Amino acid sequence: MSLDENNSALEQGYLSCRHCHKLIEQGDQAFDYCPRCHSKVYSRIPHSLRWSWALLLSGFFLYIPANVLPIMTLNKMWVLRTDTIMSGIINLYNIGMAPIAAIVFIASVVVPLLKMLALAYILLAIQFKKSSNHLFRCKMYRMVEFIGRWSMLDIFVISILLGIVKFGNVASVNLEPAAFLFEIVVILTMLAALSLDSRLIWDSLHDSH
């Protein structure tokens, strides 16, 4: 099987299986079944851009209350103290745990926001058919996808925050709504990246030729 590397496989009459990456000759139907893994093979995943936008915007919408609303309540010696993610980070810093505060801040605030902004940039570039920086956007998408595999680290870091302020029977920690919202944001961002057909990044390059 010989392909012209200057043209896409689709332009030369082939489809690529997204699961096992086998090249398949394109038939008359909208999709074929991969002879190797028997999954459906699309020229482009149907409504990929629409699904990615819906999931990403939902994540953006929930990101604000996840950071503003209380994430936990500490009950120590019958004294209640409620913390958001940021106030918890500040408290860690004030009690001399600056490295842990930095880890929590990066994993729980910076990384989720950067993932969403990077994915939004990629989606906008696809939407408006930007004909430059395709390789940069492809590398950015791979980075977002790679970080997505470690998305539950954000939840793990929050559990560290809870463990630090828990003192056995002397104090108890209760999770508040923001913890649940934060988990949803992580999942939505991960699904938004998985829903995007990365081949769409290169379509404007072939359209411009």
In tens digits, what is the pLDDT along the chain, a chain of 209 residues?
444 455 555 556 677 777 777 777 766 444 567 777 877 777 677 788 899 999 999 999 999 998 888 887 776 666 677 878 888 788 778 878 788 788 878 888 888 888 999 999 999 988 887 777 788 888 888 888 877 666 666 566 666 666 665 554 555 667 788 888 888 988 899 899 888 887 777 776 655 54
Tell me the pTM. 0.74
Whether 143 and 187 map to the same domain: the answer is yes
**Do 25 and 51 fall into the same domain?**
no
77 and 58 in one domain?
A: yes
Same domain, 29 and 126: no
With beta carbons less than 8 A apart as the criterion, state whether 25 and 33 touch: no
Strand, coil or helix: 79: strand
Cα radius of gyration rounded to whole Å, the chain: 22
Domain carrying residue 34: 1-43
Domain boundary among 27, 43, 59: 43
- Count of domains observed in the chain: 2
Looking at the structure, tell me whether residues 83 and 122 fall in a common domain.
Answer: yes
**What is the rounded CA–CA span in Å between residue 165 and residue 62?**
26
Q: Are residues 129 and 172 in the same domain?
A: yes
Closest CA to 182 of 65, 82, 74, 89: 65
Residues 131 and 106 in one domain: yes
Among residues 193, 115, 195, which one has the least CA distance to residue 154?
Answer: 115
Among candidate residues 32, 47, 30, the one with its CA nearest the CA of residue 22? 32
Tokens in use for 2? 């010989």
